Amino acid sequence: MKILVPVKRVIDYNVKVRVRPDGTGVETANVKMSMNPFDEIAVEEAVRLKEKGIATEVIAVSCGGAACQETLRTALALGADRAILVQTDVELQPLAVAKLLRAVVQKELPQLVLLGKQAIDDDANQTGQMLAALLDWPQATFASRVDVAGATATVKREVDGGLETVEVALPAVVTTDLRLNEPRYATLPNIMKAKKKPLDTLVPGTLGVDVAPRLVTVKVTEPAKRKGGGRVADVKELVAKLRSEAKILP
């Protein structure tokens, strides 16, 4: 069974993002970029399924500019077998990415697409579900456990009330939550090996996909600053202030 793992290049999660003074977006120049952490979990899960003998091949795919090759090399260093870059400099929104991925799926015919539940830049939480809908495949989102047996994946999902188990018939789309696994670190030998693994480049035009954005970003602004930093000396003062000043407690 082939597994396709879409990965996104995003601003590293440790970076404190800054809004550009002209309000057109956030500052990305000279900012550390990394693989979206949820996608890293997806790569790890796919590689583990291969190590268990369930998957035969793990293909990483990324959509975006040439720099996404770096993200794909990271996926290869973590254990993916080969990579596909769908290269475009157009701003890609989730629907466009889902359409590109559908085209890749139709070429590669994987039984499972494993990807992060959301990217930590646009926080959209859409691509996996959209891809599943476009393919008319079942989906299992927010996975904290994935078991594949025969033609079925059994997935524990993190939902608002606790955990829900769903069984999906393969082929299916599964999106990963934080606690699915702890991704390994790429070792130096594996980073070297990754440089030799195949990385193919496609363009949206040859896949027949219109990637024009549907949403126009009018402006990007900083959130309202919260005035914090107040201190109290002890429990008595805290309770007194919550009663008289904040009027939260009776």
Partner 1 sequence: MSILVIAEHDNASLKSATLHAVTAARKLGDDIQVLVAGGDAGAAVAAAAAVAGVGRVLRVDADHLRQPTAENVAAATLAVVARGGYTHVLAPATSFGKNVAPRIAARLDVAQISDITGIEAPDTFVRPIYAGNAFATVRSMDPIKVITVRTTAFDAAPATGGSAAIEDIPAGPEIRTSKVTGQEFSKSERPELTSARIVVSGGRGMGSGENFRLLEALADKLNAAIGASRAAVDAGYVPNDYQVGQTGKIVAPDLYVAVGISGAIQHLAGMKDSKVIVAINKDAEAPIFQIADYGLVGDLFEIIPALTRELSA
Secondary structure of residue 211 in the 3-state scheme: coil
Contact 87, 64 (CB under 8 A): yes
Minimum gap (Å) between residue 94 Cβ and partner 1: 7
* Position 221 contacts partner 1 (CB under 8 A): yes
Q: Which of 56, 106, 165, 187 binds partner 1 (CB under 8 A)?
A: 165
* Position 188 contacts partner 1 (CB under 8 A): no
* Position 207 contacts partner 1 (CB under 8 A): no
Distances (CA, A) of 223 to 10, 23, 24, 125: 20, 12, 15, 21
For residues 178 and 116, give the distance between their C-alpha atoms in angstroms, rounded to a whole number.
Answer: 9
Q: Which of 94, 110, 183, 204 binds partner 1 (CB under 8 A)?
A: 94
Q: Which of 29, 137, 180, 185 binds partner 1 (CB under 8 A)?
A: 137
Residues 110-129 that bind partner 1 (CB under 8 A): 117-118, 120-129
Total binding residues toward partner 1, as defined by CB under 8 A: 80
**Residue 249 burial by Cβ neighbours in a 10 Å radius (0-12, 13-18, 19+):** exposed
* Position 109 contacts partner 1 (CB under 8 A): no
Minimum gap (Å) between residue 190 Cβ and partner 1: 25
Residues 8-67 that bind partner 1 (CB under 8 A): 11, 13, 16-17, 19, 26, 38
Residues 6+ apart with CB under 8 A from 140: 146, 153, 155, 157, 166, 168, 172, 173, 174, 175
